[in-house]
Structure 1
């Protein structure tokens, strides 16, 4: 999730830890801890901000950009394989109907639980 957030946020100087944590709805300490692990694996860089040394800027490495490109290509192929015959409108309709079924099942489970 951190890598995906950074792919959206990363600019020339990277993105501050607190911005990534807000986007992910998690505590900044979680992003700090996990980003250190990702840095050790060579997936992102951590640098102090040039304007404020207390702020840590995160940015993706070239290795990560290549991995994300590979994953995106594979996901597109998978989507085409799974949903290709439906097209975009049909896929949206299917997802909508599945969400409605899920909601009805949750309501039914709640009713059954209340009866006991």
Structure 2
């Protein structure tokens, strides 16, 4: 695998001492990575299917979901959405203007900072999402049915750790290039 050779170039500067994993450990970690790739691809396909119900792209659906998740009643900034979906703000700005033209979101200038645009779901988008909620909840129930609250919290904590570590690893790989 090409990843093994490149992985050896990463400088280990973490606070924890690095352990030299055995071959079985490496093989298992590679399989976990491939499982993440598979899960990511499946989630992407699900996102496209939901987006199709709205007549929008998968990326636009992701933006709608981020706005829905982040907005606590005052709107959410382009920067916050960009951070949530790991996309550059110019992309989010372009896509949210399209979503506004489609009547799915509202965009208003912040009253406290004219440089900031705050976004919220339109009534049309909220109504469509409410109609889809039973299907959405059934999907989540199916995916996570074997996890109790403790297991979900454990998985969430481990994924957060992996998210942080992969971000650092990505930065280290970028430094090596």
Shorter-chain TM band: 0.5 to 0.7
* Residue segments in structure 1 that go unaligned for 5+ positions in a row: 93-116
Aligned residues: 89
Could you state the TM-score of these two structures normalised by the residue count of structure 2? 0.44
3-state SS in 2 of match to 1:52? coil
Q: Which residue of 19, 22, 25 corresponds with 2:86?
A: 25
RCO higher in 1 or 2 (8 Å CA, sep ≥ 6)? Answer: 1
Could you state the TM-score of these two structures normalised by the residue count of structure 1? 0.66
Matches within 5 A, 1:15-94: 15-77=76-138, 87-89=145-147
RMSD: 2.5
How far apart are residue 74 of structure 1 and its match? 1.7
3-state SS in 1 of match to 2:127? helix
CA distance in 2, matches of 1:19, 1:79: 25
**Superposed structure 1 runs of 4+ greater than 6 Å apart:** none
